[in-house]
Amino acid sequence: MPVFNRHAMQPVPNLDEQARQDFVSSLRAHLSGRLMPGAYKVYENRVEPGFRAANGRPPHDHDEVRKAMTQDPFYQFWSAMQRRSQELLWESVIDPTERQLSKLIETSKAITRNAGGAGRGTLRLDPSLPLPRYHAAVDIHLQPGGYHTEFAEDDVAAGVVYDKGINLYMGGALGAENNLMGDILLAYLREKHPDFRPKKILDLGCAIGNSSVVWARAFPEAEVYGVDVAAPVLRYAHARAEALGVPVHFSQQNAERTDFAEASFDLVLSHIVLHETSKSALPRILGECHRLLSVEGLMLHLEIPRGKSIIEKFMHNWESYNNNETFSRFMTGIDLKAEAIKGHFAPERIVVDEFAPKLDVAQMNYAENFFWKILAARR
Ligand SMILES: C[S@@+](CC[C@H](N)C(=O)[O-])C[C@H]1O[C@@H](n2cnc3c(N)ncnc32)[C@H](O)[C@@H]1O
């Protein structure tokens, strides 16, 4: 079962809850490792030849693949099971969280009361901050209430649930502290800019601060900030980072426009955030990165690969149609360089890279070769 480091902000599952989480983890490993590759075979051997016979040509794009694949019984079975496994996943984490929520909230409040001194992080919330429609309108990736819903006063539940949820979602492949995203982007920085030593780092859409902590550990002399629109994940992020002994300054802000001073950061980052925004928010966020960066400052965004062939693209877009990742199917076709230009970066300062880090991701069960998309630009 996925390794997951213990700290003060985690609920302890009882035996029944643990058994459910183990079941979900095994079910998902089976669906993605054993059944999902079958969908590619079905396309190759049945769906694509059928489409060709009917139309006298292969499908032009992933939307045409979608129309044909969604009629196929094997795909329908895998898709229905995948969706159900996602619902079971949240259920298996919500039960132990609900059972221990008041204790977790008290722990978070006690940690926050003692924070803020030398070498400690801070938390700044803004209850008046409007939630962007792209988060208010749906329960993102089917997490009940998304990142932002507060079920109790001073709630941390969304953060607790998300942390364990993504550990199960990826079968532990994100690492014992869900550190993989941060590790990959850090590996990219070290490979491409080995002498870069940031002094002030901003992590946009930091959620539970899992990646922010990676950067704070890697550059202990730097000040690290994390922003997110959602209060419960930020309360959890703060308490978690303090419990881990890592100083990070979290605040509730919209990455489209923050209250930080112009040119105040030399490294601005995001990890798997952009595909959860919107067509209009994306250039605004990149424009905000441009505003916040000092001269020669660096912006790095890590994004989920969207596949190369039309069948891979179609399979990636499953998340949009079935898992409430509404914007991610548009990201399949978006030109990130053009978006960064809209955000005022000079074309010659922008790089869009595919990066396959030499990290231990052996547990990942995905069918295609795993590479990550990175949008990098210098001010
Ligand atoms: C997939 S999670 C981020 C995961 C995390 N960065 C990591 O490294 O694993 C996306 C986060 O981005 C936040 N988010 C989305 N749009 C945002 C925006 N415009 N401003 C700030 N945060 C945003 C969401 O609330 C959510 O917590």
Q: Can you say how many angstroms the Cα of residue 131 is from the centroid of all Cα atoms in its chain?
A: 18
Cα 274 to ligand 1 centre (Å): 8
* Residue 124 tokens, joined: 């700044």
288 lines ligand 1 (CB under 6 A): no
* Residue 307 tokens, joined: 């596949």
Cα 71 to ligand 1 centre (Å): 34
pLDDT band (50, 70, 90) for residue 367: very low
323 lines ligand 1 (CB under 6 A): no
**Domain ranges for the chain:** 104-378
Closest ligand 1 atom to Cα of 203: 6
| pLDDT tens by residue, 186-244 | 999 999 999 999 999 999 999 999 999 999 999 999 999 999 999 999 999 999 999 99
C-alpha to C-alpha distance for 230 and 149, rounded to whole angstroms = 8
273 lines ligand 1 (CB under 6 A): yes
Strand 350-355 and strand 293-303: the pairing is: unpaired
Determine the residue type at 342. Answer: K
Ligand 1 pocket: which of 229, 238, 269, 274 to mutate (most atoms within 8 A of CB): 229
| pLDDT tens by residue, 298-313 | 999 999 877 888 999 9
pLDDT of residue 194: 95
208 lines ligand 1 (CB under 6 A): no
Mean pLDDT of 166-195: 91
**Closest residue by CA, ligand 1 atom 15:** 205
For the chain, the distance separating the N- and C-terminal CA atoms, rounded to the nearest angstrom, is 43
Cα 286 to ligand 1 centre (Å): 14
pLDDT of residue 365: 42
The answer to whether residue 73 scores a pLDDT higher than 50 is yes
Mean pLDDT of 138-149: 94
The answer to whether residue 84 scores a pLDDT higher than 50 is yes
Determine the residue type at 343. Answer: G
The answer to whether residue 269 scores a pLDDT higher than 80 is yes
pLDDT band (50, 70, 90) for residue 368: very low
C-alpha to C-alpha distance for 378 and 160, rounded to whole angstroms = 35
Q: Which CATH class is domain 104-378?
A: alpha beta
- Name which of 218, 225, 216 is nearest 255 in CA terms: 225
pLDDT of residue 366: 40
pLDDT band (50, 70, 90) for residue 126: very high
252 lines ligand 1 (CB under 6 A): no
In total, the chain counts a number of residues equal to 379
227 lines ligand 1 (CB under 6 A): yes
Q: Is the pTM of this model over 0.85?
A: yes
Lowest mean pLDDT among 9-13, 146-150, 183-187, 306-310: 306-310
pLDDT of residue 307: 80
pLDDT of residue 119: 77
pLDDT of residue 362: 45
pLDDT of residue 116: 66
Name residues whose C-beta falls within 8 Å of residue 103's C-beta, 6 or more positions apart in sequence.
none
Lowest mean pLDDT among 26-40, 82-96, 338-352: 26-40
Cα 273 to ligand 1 centre (Å): 5
The overall average pLDDT reported for the chain is 92
Mean pLDDT of 55-60: 96
pLDDT of residue 114: 77
Mean pLDDT of 255-261: 98
Closest ligand 1 atom to Cα of 273: 10
pLDDT of residue 369: 46
The answer to whether residue 258 scores a pLDDT higher than 80 is yes
